[in-house]
Amino acid sequence: MNLAFKDIRYNRLKFFGSTLGVGLLLMVMLTIGGIIRGIILDSATIIEETGANLWVVEKGTLGPFVEISRIPQDYYHAIQALEGVAEASPLVMAWEHITRPMIPTPLMKFMYMNTVLGTKTMVEPGWLDMPMDQRFVVIGYKPGHIGGPPIIISGRGIEASRYEIVADVKTGLHVGERLRLGNFDYTVVGLTRNMVGFNADPVIYASLNDAQDILFQRDPDLLRNERVRVESRVLGAATGAPRLAAPLSERARSLAENVRFLNAVAVKLQPGASPGEVADAITRWKHLEVYSAARQVNLQLMGSNRLILLQLSVFRLILLVISGVIIGFIIYTLTLDKIKEIAVLKLLGMQNWRIYRMILEQALLMGVLGTLIGALLEFAMEPYFPRRVEATWGDVVQMLAAIIIVATLASLLAIRRAMKVDARMVLGT
């Protein structure tokens, strides 16, 4: 006869109610773990999906994902020619935004109501009426080379040389939709999935030239001003040689208006080529910085995302401690409710280990069921989070191991109390 199960069956509302509470708490813990993994995956997505072995960036910079990196466009030809290089793909990438009308979600409406009710903790009143600036990462690549969208879930890839884009589904754009980026209109010809920057901004892929125009070409009025300024400076300098004024002016203008540069070159190595040797050659002869794909991911994680990852990890640890304390109190309280029964069992001659096993079994069952409930709820909730949340069954197993330890420790407290129960308490009352 298993007393633990008999007790649970009889007090099922109390037990399963408490277990549900534990499960909800563990769901939060698993979610935070999923958010941490989401950040890591988001940081790694573009780099990993590009499939490059090496990332070549401007010397002295940490690369396009962390800080501004500019290298001349023609450099990728020189890299392509190096021994051991299978492919050198020129890439540009930077943030861009479009302004769209706000389409409030229920969560946004709730936040708005919260504001209206006077707390003003989240947003200012009128927030829902403001237009929304939607940010995304534009990646420019040469179609047919690495660095483009890894999968197309709807529509097609970029085929025309200009004015076509492929967008991640999280942009909210649809195939066939036209939008203005920079000074030109572009058509969405395809959609991709799970392609986001390290801060979860969705990606828009464009051809290299289009992306350079979108990201680097200045406003026409500003450009005209700049042109006049450069011309006047060059003409002033060329007063001693009037014949040189026109060609010098044209050259200076073209330099000022040049948008044909890259942020990085993604390098795929030939099979058997040594990444270290190729990187050394690029660094020595081309005066550039070279990072391995893993190092590039690490730069993001330990740079841009370091503090938020630490923050979440600390919070997760605090939650683990809180969960332990709460499970401990629940088990302790359930044991306190059975003090009289424990005294009767002791008086009937039940072995102490059977009493302690009953407490431990209940604690473990609560921990295991709570973890499963938490995991199922977390997996069910994942798609509704605005950012990527990716808990795995591996996380659940880890959580289970931690909770088994926590539940065992928590039940020790209750067992200690049970040990102190005096069988005499049921006699003479």
Partner 1 sequence: MEYAIEAQYLSKTYGEGRTRVEVLKDVSLAVRPGELFAIMGPSGSGKTTLLTILGLVTEPTHGRVILDEENIYNGRRPDLQCLRREKLGFIFQLANLIPFLTARENILLPLELIGITGKEARSRATELLKYLEVADRADHHPEQLSGGEKQRVAIARALANEPKVILADEPTASLDTERGLSVMRLLRKLSNEKRTAILVVTHDTRMITEVDQVIHLQDGRIVDTG
Is 9 a binding residue for partner 1 by CB under 8 A? The answer is yes
Angle at 222 between CA 220 and CA 223, to 5 degrees: 60
Position among 13, 103, 307, 348 found at the interface with partner 1 (CB under 8 A): 348
Query: By C-beta, is 40 or 355 nearer to partner 1?
Result: 355
Can you tell me which of 344, 365, 369, 412 binds partner 1, judged by CB under 8 A?
A: 344
Count of residues interacting with partner 1 (CB under 8 A):
25
Q: For residues 212 and 362, which CB has a smaller minimum distance to partner 1 in the complex?
A: 362
Distances from the Cα of 40 to the Cα of 32, 50, 92, 199, 379, angstroms: 12, 16, 22, 10, 18
Question: Which C-beta is closer to partner 1: that of 257 or that of 341?
Answer: 341
**SS3 state at 357:** helix
Asked if 428 interacts with partner 1 (CB under 8 A), we say yes
Which range of residues in 19-27, 251-259, 339-347, 386-394 is near partner 1 by CB under 8 A?
Answer: 339-347
- With 0-12 / 13-18 / 19 or more C-beta atoms within 10 angstroms meaning exposed / middle / buried, residue 428 is exposed
Instruction: Tell me, rounded to whole angstroms, the distance of Cα 425 from its chain centroid.
Output: 58
Q: Which stretch binds partner 1 (CB under 8 A): 9-17, 38-46, 96-104, 288-296?
A: 9-17
Considering only residues 350-409, where is the footprint of partner 1 by CB under 8 A?
350-352
Task: Report in angstroms how near the CB of residue 303 gets to partner 1 at its nearest.
Answer: 57
Q: Which of 43, 346, 371, 377 binds partner 1 (CB under 8 A)?
A: 346
Residue 405 is encoded by which pair of tokens? 């330890």
Distances (CA, A) of 30 to 66, 290, 311, 323, 370: 29, 37, 15, 12, 12
CA end-to-end span of the chain, whole Å? 28
In whole angstroms, the minimum distance from the beta carbon of 424 to partner 1 comes to 5
Do 252 and 235 meet the contact criterion of CB atoms below 8 Å apart?
Answer: no
Q: Which of 118, 349, 383, 386 binds partner 1 (CB under 8 A)?
A: 349
Stretch that binds partner 1, among 31-39, 222-230, 411-419, 421-429 (CB under 8 A): 421-429
Stretch that binds partner 1, among 57-65, 75-83, 85-93, 341-349 (CB under 8 A): 341-349
C-alpha–C-alpha distance, residues 222 and 299, integer Å: 35
By the 10 Å C-beta count (0-12 exposed, 13-18 middle, 19+ buried), 241 is classed as exposed
Pick 347 or 368: Cβ nearer partner 1: 347
Asked if 1 interacts with partner 1 (CB under 8 A), we say: yes
Our CB check for partner 1 shows the closer of 235 and 344 to be: 344
Give the residue, chosen from 11, 114, 154, 398, that forms a contact with partner 1 under the rule CB under 8 A. 11
Per CB under 8 A, which region of 6-14, 139-147, 192-200, 390-398 contacts partner 1?
6-14
- Least distance CB 172 / partner 1 (angstroms): 55
Torsion of CA 224, 226, 227, 229, to 10 degrees: 120
Closest separation in Å from C-beta 352 to partner 1: 8
Scored b (16 or more CB within 10 A) or e, 325-342 reads ebbbebbbebbeebbeeb
Backbone angle region of 107, left / alpha / beta, with phi > 0 → left and psi within -120 to 50 → alpha:
alpha
Binding region for partner 1 (CB under 8 A): 1, 3, 6-7, 9-11, 340-341, 344-352, 422-424, 426-429
